[in-house]
Amino acid sequence: MRCFAVRRTAPGEQYLRITNYILPHMSAIIGNEGRIGEGYNAHWHVPMDDTHHMRIDYIFNRVRAPNKEYNENAMVGEIQPDGFLVRNARTATSKTAPR
């Protein structure tokens, strides 16, 4: 399955973003490697139980080894000490998802 998004970047210019979903629980995105024209990223959401999952990120670059330091720094402030993503902190601290 593919999800397309068209964004205006400047007058008369558009950016087409395509996200590929590999069912049942993986997505391939452009990520930084795609932005520089050398690869892609993939997020694999692995079910742990009925209400939790683990996300594994793959970074592929066909030209050079991925920059580990850059990628680790990009996640600073995104993951809390308990492992939950900051943007999901509301759901991590409550027993039910927000409505």
Per-residue pLDDT tens for 28-55? Answer: 888 777 778 888 888 888 888 888 878 8
Tokens found for residue 74: 């990009």
Q: Is the pLDDT of residue 56 over 60?
A: yes
**DSSP structure string for 11-69:** TTEEEEEEEEEETTTEEEE-HHHHHTTSEEEEEEEEE-SSS-EEEEEEEEESSS---HH
Contact 16, 6 (CB under 8 A): yes
Residue 10 or residue 74, greater confidence: 10
* Integer Cα distance of 88 and 51 in angstroms: 13
Per-residue pLDDT tens for 82-91? Answer: 767 777 655 5
